Structure 1
């Protein structure tokens, strides 16, 4: 290899060597780039097939085995996303985290990562899926992501269903509003019930019973009484709610008077606040899940 580190002018022989080496190096770099691109396309195709597969064919299983997936083992699907921008570095981080989890458990691990439905989809075969989710979240924390995840209890054959649940869990986390965060439906409480597929009719009836008049009023008048009610109940007092809503406290007080006219004067009292707040949170999560598809 010819390396020039000084300031002296190269002689004719060195210049000829450098001229010949340039195209060779460029060709080698291009070959490496194509190999990396081909490997990523292979992994992207595998992710796409898995999240749409109705059954795992022998061919698909063989291709998964070639990238490290064993026939038996715990499979989980993770959806990594932010509200408004891609999350950088997910493939490298996921590989690193999987290696760390596997090393601590003295086992092997396999990971596939690809962009899917506007998010990064990670399919991992690891011994501790919850730990993997937490470490993935922490490693990507500067980007402010949420990591919704779900187990595939039937292994590879359940990846499609797990991906849908993970996608809905991520949407629920966005609706709740805490970032960075990671959760599966079992740790999301009632929001997790929605993410996992609770009967929409039951949820709709609960929301309508508790806060239906607010929703109707907001639709007719293009107001934000529903959001105001949720913020007041969550914050516990008008001043804190006003700060969160970026409004004057008198404006929030006027909105609360309107809310009381619609729901009753004791709408925020001890006998109703819990149920109303539950309904308002379900309303927010339901909206996020509907947007997520």
Structure 2
């Protein structure tokens, strides 16, 4: 039986063709670069021909890749149109979504744009707070959905939908990571990222001090990019100008973090469940993680 083409793989393929880069395409399709590479390897195996060649730092399509791209665009477009046509036309109303600003820049634009196109009668209100505050808002009924950093010790009923590596980061222009004690820029509240960072440094008996503390990821990133402090961030939160620190720099590996979806305490509504399904479909990389392991 002839193998069928995977629409998700084709969507990633189109993103690579449009950007000329596996890295930039990963941002568009909300996957890690390794997951994107794995998808393209599987796509090449499925079509039985090479579809990319390396051209310096960019990826260029082969002749077969150019031919496939024409069909890929049509298939992805038809898939989007089919889903939109079959979507429940009666999905309407108001849904309140919470998300930490660590994830908002990367995830929200595409999620909200696609959801709005599929559900034009739905209204989404977005609140940005740290995960601990979002959990509290879910508990008191002031939010319908929340995307949070998962910690079993904080909340058990959240649905884990994504896993990402946590990295030590510093500025590409500076040596602040060599200072003693180590200056840090971290969240000023209860935070899984901060807990992991401090635990790792304490295990090394490495002297450190929190020089900048803020619940706002932009403020923390500013301190890092200015070369004033070291911080930690997930793969999706890496920014241009940041340098990832490894064991070669004296920094121990950090555990991966889990991103989860938490539903509100009120009776579920169609609009809430429609947005929840959309978020899960958009952010899910767990199958890629399992395959990579």
TM over 0.5, shorter chain: no
Please state which band the TM-score falls in when normalised by the shorter chain: under 0.3
- Relative to the length of structure 2, the TM-score reads 0.24
Larger radius of gyration: 1
More strand by share: 2
